[in-house]
Amino acid sequence: MSASWQTSHMPDLTGLTAVVTGANSGLGIPTAQALGKAGAHVVLAVRDLDKGREAAAKVPGSHEVRRLDLADLASVRQFAASWDGDLDLLINNAGVMMAPEGRTKDGFETHFGTNHLGHFALTNLLLPHITDRVVTVSAAAHRWVSGIDFDNPYLTGAYNARKAYGQSKLANLLFTLELQRRLREIGSPVRALAAHPGLAATNLLRTPKPMLRTFIRLVAQDAEAGALPTLFAATEDLPSASYIGPDGISGMRGGPALVSRTAAASDPAAAKRLWALSEELTGTSFVMSPR
């Protein structure tokens, strides 16, 4: 798909419900706005309700704000337990990038716990309600690592923010792969897909380095363009387990299209191993009846 694909090409989503995690900032805002404009009822799942309400004021159509802290499994469980009725689209968008070494409320490394385990638990808990698809936002940074460090997933004693972020983004792709395998195995029509924004100028890309700031201004897409791969994955008729990203220079910018992933991100054995570890850590598992 060329750069000509825009939000105006999205189908009518009237009557559908979408959850967007991290919808109060970064890519989450234009994602929620586009879904609302297309007619969906949009649930902004955010950690800070005040910021969520401020963002929701810019979302057209039907919407609501609900609290969700992906770095706290109790909050994830509370969000899922409060859900009633069908959920057509879950967009696992929220995340942290290049954060200092830290731990979530449950003791997980910040990137692994927030970007992967929080969304893993949320998806599993909401699966009985999901009718159409799950889109998880990964990143080209999954190429920064050669695999999941299963012996030391929190990188204890060897922490590196770049590696931690890259590992969490690789985990997003392996999660999508194994989720789709499980959905296919039970004959579910629900699809799992992944997307990445390329280089998008959002709050995640703040940097004190002048030369890097200049590079970002020259090369990066704006948040609206960065959200297009996610929206494309969420609304177009695509093969299951598809990975969508910009089709331009080095995958940094351009129109949404099917893109490649590393061999490590396509490894079914690693995907199964990660799933088992994630079930153990979060206490959640795949529970879904065929529709």
How far is CA 82 from each of CA 67, 126, 287, rounded to the nearest angstrom?
Answer: 11, 10, 17
**CA-angle at 74, arms to 121 and 29, nearest 5°:** 65
CA atoms of 142 and 130, how far apart (whole Å): 27
Give the number of C-alpha atoms closer than 13 A to the C-alpha of residue 108, restricted to the C-beta side. Answer: 22
Token duo for residue 117: 């385990």
Q: Is 243 a catalytic residue?
A: no
Phi/psi of residue 138, each to 5°?
-105, -150
CA atoms of 118 and 140, how far apart (whole Å): 20
Burial label for 49, CB within 10 Å (0-12, 13-18, 19+), is middle
What secondary structure does DSSP assign to 254-288, as a single string?
SSEEE----SGGG-HHHHHHHHHHHHHHH------
63 membership: H or E segment, kind and range: strand 63-67
The residues that are catalytic are 165
